Copies of this chain bind each other. A is one copy, B any other.
Amino acid sequence: MSGNKEEEDPRINGIKTKIRVVPDFPKKGIMFQDITTVLLDPKAFKDTIDLFVERYRDKNISVVAGIEARGFIFGPPIALAIGAKFVPLRKPKKLPGETIFEEYELEYGNDRLEMHIGAVEAGDRALVVDDLIATGGTLCAAINLLERVGEEVVECACVIELPELKGRQRLKGKPLCMLVEYR
């Protein structure tokens, strides 16, 4: 399965209309996709979670990994609904205890994503969640972290995709499920 938009589900349009596009944030030329306005509409927020839960509930997902910080908003409700563990993937130095990290590229320089050692076990089936996929660099780092400890990454789930940035091609062959495209 190559991962498709939940086509024609009537809830999708309701979610799309709630996303606020903020021009020139964080810098000139970027049209920032603000999902906080979705969270202000209880129905739209619930629909977002329900669409993912309906897709994943029968797929034996044992781990939902959410990318800091907006992946922490969407990942836990999905995990709770499907009975999976939730694992936060964080910026450096936030997680206590032993961690492993993956570097990924930014426009200028690199950043790191960290995960606790021992959080997930080899053989877990994992879903990676973030609010948006742009270049795919962060999601790729997340996939790497999970695979390094023996997880099978089943899919990546994002509310929004920026398809022109081709992030979908950077997911090590893993499928992407998204709800809304922005071109």
Could you tell me which A residues sit within 8 Å of B by CB distance? 20, 22, 25-26, 32, 34, 36, 39-42, 45-46, 49, 68-70, 72-74, 76-77, 79-80, 83-88, 90, 93-97, 116, 119
Copies held by the complex? 2
20 contacts between A and B (CB under 8 A): A20-B96, A22-B96, A32-B96, A36-B88, A39-B86, A39-B87, A40-B87, A40-B119, A42-B79, A42-B85, A45-B79, A45-B86, A49-B80, A69-B72, A72-B72, A73-B76, A73-B86, A74-B76, A76-B76, A77-B80
- Please give, as numbers and ranges, the residues of chain B lying within 8 Å of A90 by CB-CB distance: 69
Q: Which chain B residue has the least Cβ–Cβ distance from A119?
A: B40
- Please give, as numbers and ranges, the residues of chain B lying within 8 Å of A95 by CB-CB distance: 36
A83 to B26, CA, bound (A): 31
A96 pairs with B34, CB closer than 8 A = yes
B73 pairs with A88, CB closer than 8 A = yes
A81 to B137, CA, bound (A): 33
Q: Which chain B residue has the least Cβ–Cβ distance from A72?
A: B72
